[in-house]
Amino acid sequence: MRNVGDPTPKENFLEVVIYGVERALWDALGKSSLAFTSRIGESLCEELEIKVCEENFVSIEEAVAAIGDALKELGILEDIHAQVDESQIRFRVKGCMLLPIEKRLQKEGIEPFICPIMNAAVYMLRRRLGVRAKLSDINVDVGRKTCEIVFEKL
């Protein structure tokens, strides 16, 4: 399933743990779980030392490109393309390590809120550019190993 190396049994198990957390929170809090997106992004940027999260950018295009490159460098995904228009920010991701989890969550009607791309992007846009964005759509294609994440600018 994963493009960036095969998961070891331990990694596989940690993915199960992340899935378990996401589902438990969703079952208890529903859509309110999405409120954690930015906070998780903040912790994640610190923990993974994603320095671009602390840099200043003049445009959304520049910021989302930088976060995409940083995540690619960390091996979280194989490739990412961002497109920004008046009302939306659209990420097309290939080979994300959490793709199987996202697919399962989507099948179960759960809107993912633990996704490094989503978390880091939402946090960074808010913190660095004062832009608030919320997830409006996520489409996972396990066969093609791609995921499209669409944010609506608020």
Partner 1 sequence: MKVLKAIIYGVEKALWDALGRGSLAFTPFIGENICEEMSNIFGKNIESSSLDELLEEMGHFYVEKLGFSESFDVKRGDSEFSIEVKGCSLLDVEERLIKDGVTPFICPLMNSVAYIVRKKLGVKSRIKSINVDPENRTCRLSFEILG
Q: How far apart are the C-alpha atoms of 86 and 59, rounded to whole Å?
A: 13
Q: Give the x/- contact pattern for partner 1 in 97-136, rule: CB under 8 A.
A: x----------------x-x--x-----------------
φ, ψ dihedrals at 55, nearest 5°: -90, 160
Residue 44 or 60 with smaller CB distance to partner 1: 44
Residue 8 or 56 with smaller CB distance to partner 1: 8
Q: Which of residues 67-86 bind partner 1 (CB under 8 A)?
A: 74-76
In terms of Cβ atoms closer than 10 Å to its own Cβ (0-12, 13-18, 19+), residue 124 is buried
Q: How far apart are the C-alpha atoms of 19 and 78, rounded to whole Å?
A: 21
Give 130's contacts (C-beta < 8 A, 6+ positions apart). Answer: none
Q: Which of residues 29-48 bind partner 1 (CB under 8 A)?
A: 35-36, 39-44, 46-48
Q: Binding to partner 1 by residue 27, rule CB under 8 A?
A: yes
Q: Which residues bind partner 1 (CB under 8 A)?
A: 8-21, 23-25, 27-28, 35-36, 39-44, 46-48, 74-76, 97, 114, 116, 119
